[in-house]
């Protein structure tokens, strides 16, 4: 096989594997951002965090939030809920960053798959 063709095929295989690994890593990240509270499921994102902060700034301690399944959930202690979702967000984001950086430094298909 021509050397250029072989290198192109190897690079193509590497890019397909890299994109698949990135996709799986992103899916894992979004799954780790789910927080369960009183039977409700909340996807933790910057919007939820900001909304809770706004409610807290307006001296709200007991609020009703609509979860991912459109179910109203009574949050009886907003400060504790905020602490929990911030912990979920930052833990997940830091793990995502670490795993993503590992992918960036992997230069072969074998390293991508094994890390």
Instruction: Please state, in angstroms and rounded to a whole number, the distance separating the CA atoms of residues 44 and 111.
Output: 31
Distance separating alpha carbons of residues 39 and 63, to the nearest angstrom: 16
**pLDDT score, position 31:** 97
Reading the chain (115 residues) residue by residue, the pLDDT tens digits are: 688 887 778 888 888 888 899 999 999 999 999 999 999 999 999 999 999 999 999 999 999 999 999 999 999 999 999 999 999 999 999 999 999 998 888 766 666 666 5
75 - beta bridge partners? 63
Instruction: Assign 63 to helix, strand or coil.
Output: strand
Angle in degrees, CA 90, 95, 96, rounded to 5: 95
The CA distance from 21 to 61, in Å, is: 41
Q: CB under 8 Å to 77, separation ≥6 — which residues?
A: 61, 62
Q: What are the residue boundaries of the structural domains of the chain, listed by start?
A: 31-114
């Amino acid at each position: 096989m021509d050397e250029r063709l072989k290198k192109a095929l190897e690079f193509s295989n590497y890019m397909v594997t890299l994109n698949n690994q990135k996709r799986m890593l992103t899916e894992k990240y979004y799954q780790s951002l789910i927080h369960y509270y009183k039977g409700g499921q909340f996807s933790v994102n910057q919007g939820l965090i900001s909304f809770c902060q706004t409610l807290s700034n307006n001296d709200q301690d007991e609020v009703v939030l609509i979860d991912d399944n459109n179910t109203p959930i009574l949050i009886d202690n907003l400060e504790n809920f905020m602490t929990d979702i911030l912990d979920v967000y930052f833990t997940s984001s830091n793990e995502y960053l670490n795993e993503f950086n590992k992918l960036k430094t992997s230069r072969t298909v074998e390293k991508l798959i094994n890390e």
